[in-house]
Amino acid sequence: MKTTNRGRILSALAMTGATGLALVACTGGPGVDNGGDEGGDGDNVVTVYGTIVTPEQELLEESWAEWEEENDIDIQYEGSKEFEAQIAVRAQGGTPPDLAIFPQPGLLADMASRDLVLPAPEGVAANVAEYWTEDWAGYGTVDDTLYGAPLMASVKGWVWYSPSQFAENDWEVPTDWQGLLDLTAQIQSDTGEPPWCIGFNSDAATGWPGTDWVEDIVLRQSGTEVYDQWVANEVEFTAPEIKSAFEEFGKIALNEDYVNAGFGGIDTIVTTPFGTDPAAALADGSCALHHQASFFDGFLVDAGVEVGEDGDIWAFLTPPFTAGGEAAVTGGGEIVAAFDDSDATVKVQEYLSSPEWANSRVSLGGVISANKGLDPESASSPILQEAISILQSDSTTFRFDASDLMPGAVGAGTFFKGMVDYVNGTDLDTVLEQIESGWPSE
């Protein structure tokens, strides 16, 4: 194709003009509506999006079924393991659900600070003030604005063991951190096998079980003040308090003689799935100790184990750092926040923050809630009743899982990666610097 110079200049000019115009077109003018009523499917349908998938999803849907009938509101729940990735994309792309169940307050804070979620309605705020402690209310609050109420809760930091095995060998449940290390050494010398099994593998989230270990130790060793500053990045990962927590964890996880019971060497920590495999190892007795949150109960039941004080497997909380120190526990939970303020959505959000819903869901089994209106008798299994009593006790200091509170770039990014690198033998200072580097720029 032979074009003259003038023609070329012309086409270039035309292209430039077209591009410029299209740029203007894409930036959107005054007439563009951003957000607004995205529901578009009637007044009494409320879409809820969350991480909870089958089998818990059925129980969740059952828990509000009656209420739906009474109030003529159809709650359409959609569960996805890709929630954390999808919710950001959907909210930024303008197709959010009406309500989202955030498993990480940090993710909620990320979205709230970008004005993607709406502040909580008055009814929800009243429920939060009445039925939750200030700690819990704080997890749904970003910059002094309440965005949502907590939903369910879990208590982390349990150490699972076999009571009968302990009784046979005269092993005692330890009362302080050093006691736990001594117990480990004792089990190792009595059996000649590593006592602990640890599994970090969880697909894209590989490494998260390790963050629970570090959080437990930071909270117990350095106290709540340092813990809160750590979450806010006022105490950096490279600080001595955090470094020492990693080192304490390393005393167990980096010791060839102590891990990885039933699986092999230290290198198998990263490759062992976090749920099924340790449960099987505990069940067949090849693993004596395992550190995991209360949901592990479900994996044990699937492995055909009776969980209870007199059952096959029971659990004690990771002990305080010094004997008799204050009982501090870490835990997790969900926050329900809204992207839409239609009447039906507000009603659902209020109902989910009420003790009625909490009792309805907890009585179906498998989960607990930190709602003060919850009747401990609702809980199904011994470990959950134990967890509720811990949550409702006034002497317990509760702190939310730190990695869930941190911005996703760290809490679900470099912190996970750092745990993997640490147990794979990367030098600790390098690991801490890498985790710290993930903090968002703004």
Partner 1 sequence: MSDFLKWVSTLNPWLEILVIVGVFLIVVALILFFVEIAPRPGRMYTIIRLAACVAFPALFLWFLQSYQWAIAAAAVLGLIFFFLDRRAKGGAGSLFQLFGFMTPAVLLIVIGLIIPTIQTWFQAFMNSRGTTFVGLDNFVWIFSQPQNLRVVINTIVWVLVAPLVSTIAGLAYAYFIDKTRGERYYKILVFMPMAISFVGASIIWRFMYTARPAGQEQIGFLNQVIVWFGGQPLNFLAVEPWNTFFLIVVLIWIQTGFAMVILSAAIKGVPTEQLEAAELDGTNGWQKFINVIVPGIRPALIVVLTTISIASLKVFDIVRTMTAGANNTSVIANEMYTQFKSFEAGRSAAFAVILFLLVMPIVIYNAVQLKKQREAR
Amino acid (1-letter code) at residue 278? P
Q: Does 442 bind partner 1 (CB under 8 A)?
A: yes
Q: Does 31 bind partner 1 (CB under 8 A)?
A: yes
Backbone region of residue 144 per phi and psi (left: phi > 0; alpha: psi in -120 to 50; beta: other values): left
Q: Does 21 bind partner 1 (CB under 8 A)?
A: yes
Q: Record the tokens describing residue 58, joined without a space.
A: 């059925």
The DSSP secondary structure of 267-306, one letter per residue, reads GGTTTSBSSHHHHHHHHTTS--BEEE-TTHHHHHHHTT--
Indicate the helix (H) or strand (E) that contains 66: helix 65-71
| 333/413 with CB nearer partner 1 | 413
Q: Does 54 bind partner 1 (CB under 8 A)?
A: no
- Residue 8 CB, shortest distance to partner 1, in Å, is 12
Site for partner 1 in 198-227 (CB under 8 A): 203-204, 206-207
- Residue 233 CB, shortest distance to partner 1, in Å, is 15
Q: Does 323 bind partner 1 (CB under 8 A)?
A: no
Q: Does 93 bind partner 1 (CB under 8 A)?
A: no
Q: Does 276 bind partner 1 (CB under 8 A)?
A: no
Q: Are 432 and 409 in contact (CB under 8 A)?
A: no
Among residues 117, 270, 328, 337, the one that binds partner 1 under rule CB under 8 A: 270
Site for partner 1 in 60-89 (CB under 8 A): 84-85, 88-89
Question: Which region among 67-75, 331-339, 356-364, 403-411 touches partner 1 (by CB under 8 A)?
Answer: 403-411
| 4/395 with CB nearer partner 1 | 4
Question: Which region among 10-18, 61-69, 228-236, 246-254 touches partner 1 (by CB under 8 A)?
Answer: 10-18
Please choose, from the candidates 27, 16, 30, 429, the residue with its C-alpha nearest in 3D space to the C-alpha of residue 239.
429
- Residue 46 CB, shortest distance to partner 1, in Å, is 19
Q: Does 407 bind partner 1 (CB under 8 A)?
A: yes
Give CA 125 to chain center in angstroms: 23
Taking the CA of residue 36 as centre, how many other CA atoms within 13 Å lie in the half-sphere pointing to its CB? Answer: 4
Q: Which residues pair with 78 in a beta bridge?
A: 49
Q: Does 25 bind partner 1 (CB under 8 A)?
A: yes
Q: Does 268 bind partner 1 (CB under 8 A)?
A: yes
DSSP 8-state code for residue 365? S
Length of the chain: 442
| 171/274 with CB nearer partner 1 | 274
Site for partner 1 in 97-126 (CB under 8 A): 110, 114
Phi, psi torsion values for 165, nearest 5 degrees? -65, -40
Q: Which residues pair with 313 in a beta bridge?
A: 307
Residue 209 Cα distances to 308, 329, 417, angstroms = 23, 16, 11
CA distance 124 to 337: 10
- Residue 385 CB, shortest distance to partner 1, in Å, is 33
Q: Does 371 bind partner 1 (CB under 8 A)?
A: no
Question: Which region among 164-172, 215-223, 249-257, 404-412 touches partner 1 (by CB under 8 A)?
Answer: 404-412
Q: Does 414 bind partner 1 (CB under 8 A)?
A: yes
Torsion of CA 287, 288, 294, 296, to 10 degrees: 20
Residue 432 Cα distances to 183, 200, 220, 373, 407, angstroms = 29, 18, 20, 41, 16
Binding region for partner 1 (CB under 8 A): 4, 7, 10, 14-15, 17-19, 21-26, 28-33, 40, 84-85, 88-89, 110, 114, 203-204, 206-207, 262-264, 267-268, 270-272, 277, 407-409, 412-414, 417, 420, 424, 430, 434, 437, 440-442
